[in-house]
Chain A
Amino acid sequence: MSMINTHDILETIGMITSESLDVRTVTMGISLLDCADPDPKKACEKIYNKITTKAARLVPVVEKIATDYGIPIINKRISVTPIAMLLASAPTADPVEYAKTLDRAAKAVGVNFIGGFGALVHKGFSAGDEQLIASIPEALAQTDIVCSSVNIGSTKTGINMDAVKLMGQVVRKAAEITADNQCMGAAKLVVFCNAPEDNPFMAGAFHGVGEPDCVVHVGVSGPGAVRAALAKLPKDAPLDEVAELVKRTAFKITRMGQLVGNLAAKELGVPFGIVDLSLAPTPAIGDSVANILEEMGLESCGCCGTTAALALLNDAVKKGGVMASNHVGGLSGAFIPVSEDDGMIKAARCGSLTLEKLEAMTAVCSVGIDMVVVPGDTPAEVLSALIADEAAIGMVNSKTTAVRVIPAIGRKAGEELDFGGLLGYAPIMPISTYSPSVLINRGGRIPAPLQALKN
């Protein structure tokens, strides 16, 4: 058949139909720097107008690409400039009004999520930052599709422990005031170290200040396709072959993302930003990063060997993806959220996957402690300390790490929370109850680590 062989055609169709291969998101990044105004009403009006103008055609264009090309594209999203930057010039503003404006604008253009209700405070707070952070719980409770992220540390600046202390309280409050809705507030809030400025994935997407005015990013998916490819390898195939196969599969997955990104950027008349090479799981059976690790040869994700298998997977995904794309960025790696991954959920339920093992895994893969549900009586200081631990891993290893943890208010270890949709469901995982309170209350900054004498 012409230039394409039958095997390749059937492989692609199989990946899409039975292995859940899809483009997870086309995310439009929009700068709101030109919307700052001392009058909050005027600022919100400018924000609404800019988003609804720039993203007016985003959803129909992406849907048309999906229909014309036969590629499933799951989400359409928007990321914007961290809103704290706009609050700097409007000291009397109520940040919640800005969040509501984002929510209205995003709904008007029909996207699934809008990210960027956040602040970058890795070295300290500037005007607007503290107001914004304090308003996050209320903002997330009063909106439906707004996501929030705060960057509290980086390899070059160290960790802002005052912000870490604050974020433990904010995460807890976000869960408390949405306790009647599965503590959903905390599921839309990420605390970062080394946050990327071009991440298309939620809840951590925001439009960095170094980005162009408007840009399109693509996030691919495809854990199911990688697992299915590995299932065809003999169980005694050496790990070099495993890595090679992951690379080949990641290449194909990423090429599909690159194609969609090029088409969307051209049609929308904006530059194409990056492809995020992440393996993003879903709660659908088989579309799981944990299942890939198990396919490599682990009885259950979380057992000894998990970190090594994940390190191989994460590296091979990047190596395969890099060649497939002009520009790579975002988080790029394997995601290990618990509630969004069928295999992780099962491993957490049976006890093979613990919070401590997850923390170790985050040292070698994309992101961090993600969509983990902890007991409702977990104090804010413990959440802050968990954030500090993750940030330290990211800071020292020069990589992005993040915490999206949900204290299940009024519930105990062993019970479950169900967020619905792609956010999934998860058992409540036990967390150490010994107190880090003195450490957290010291505040200040953890100095940036040495970039030499590495051992």
Chain B
Amino acid sequence: MKAVITVVGKDTVGVIAKVSTACAELNINVEDVTQSIMQDMFCMIMLVNLSHCTQDMNAVRARFDSIAKEMGMELHITREEVFDAMHHI
């Protein structure tokens, strides 16, 4: 059960730290991280494994929503299957 966490917005200090700390607390394993600056926007994509997550998705979303609010950035969690369906034939 894998998902992709995307964070987009104005770059601030500690984005990766905050997101990965929350992942660790929820027992979500981070498998891959990539980040880039696109048109002055910071953009981080994290592939995570939710198989051993200790909370249900509502709680996970609430936790990450509060981090996104705190950082003033947009954060989305989307299951890997969505990208597979849309971009692989």
List residues of chain A with CB under 8 Å of any chain B CB.
1-6, 8-10, 12-13, 16-17, 64, 67-71, 252, 255-256, 258-259
Contacts of B88 in A (CB 8 A): 3
User: Does A8 lie within 8 Å of B58, measured CB to CB?
Assistant: no
The interface residues of chain B, by DSSP majority, are classed as strand
Q: Which of A1, A10, A255, A256 contacts B32 (CB 8 A)?
A: A1
B27 at the interface (CB under 8 A from A): no
Contacts of A64 in B (CB 8 A): 57
Say yes or no: A69-B81 contact (C-beta < 8 A), given A6-B36, A9-B45, A17-B74.
Answer: yes
Q: Please state if A252 and B76 are interface contacts (CB–CB under 8 Å).
A: no
- Contact among B31, B32, B45, B78 with A69 in the assembled complex (CB-CB below 8 Å): B78
Query: CB within 8 Å of A: which residues of B?
Result: 3-4, 6, 8, 31-32, 34, 36, 38, 43, 45, 47, 57-58, 61, 74, 76-88
How far is B3's CA from A218's CA once the two chains are assembled, in angstroms?
Answer: 23
- CA–CA, A17 to B76, complex, Å? 9
A62–chain B nearest beta-carbon distance, Å:
14
Chain A nearest Cβ from B3, distance in angstroms? 7
A70 touches B3 (CB 8 A): yes
Contact A9 B83 (CB under 8 A): yes
Residues of B within 8 A of A12 (CB): 78, 82-83, 86-87
Residue of chain A at shortest CB distance from B58: A67
Known contacts A1-B45, A6-B34, A9-B45; A70/B83 CB under 8 A: no
Pair B85/A13 contact, Cβ less than 8 Å:
no
Other-chain residue from B61, B78, B85 in contact with A255 (beta carbon distance below 8 A): B85
Is the Cβ of B83 less than 8 Å from the Cβ of A8?
yes
Q: In the complex the two chains form, is B8's CB within 8 Å of A70's CB?
A: no
User: What are 17 of the A-B contact pairs (CB < 8 Å)?
Assistant: A1-B32, A4-B84, A4-B87, A12-B78, A12-B82, A12-B86, A13-B78, A17-B74, A67-B57, A69-B79, A70-B76, A70-B78, A70-B79, A71-B82, A252-B87, A255-B85, A256-B86
Nearest-Cβ distance from residue B39 to partner chain A, whole angstroms: 11
A256 touches B82 (CB 8 A): yes
Bound CA–CA A256/B84 (angstroms):
10
Least Cβ distance of A265 to chain B in Å? 15
Measured CA separation A226–B77 after assembly (Å): 23
CA distance A211 to B77 in the complex (A): 36
Residues of A within 8 A of B85 (CB): 255-256, 258-259
In the complex, the answer to whether A13 meets B6 with C-beta atoms within 8 Å is yes
What is the CB-to-nearest-CB distance from A70 to chain B, in angstroms, rounded to a whole number? 4
Chain A: minimal CB distance from B83 (Å): 5
Contact (Cβ within 8 A) B45 A6: yes
| Distance, CA A136 to CA B43, complexed state (A) | 54
B72 to chain A: closest CB distance in Å? 15
Indicate whether A4 sits within 8 Å of B80 (C-beta atoms), given known contacts A9-B6, A12-B86: yes
Bound complex: CA A258 to CA B86 (Å): 10
A13-B8 Cα distance, complex, nearest whole Å: 10
Cβ–Cβ < 8 Å partners of B77 in chain A: 70
Min CB distance, A269 to chain B, in Å?
A: 20
Q: Are A16 and B76 in contact (CB under 8 A)?
A: yes
- Inter-chain contacts of A67 with B (CB < 8 A): 57-58, 61
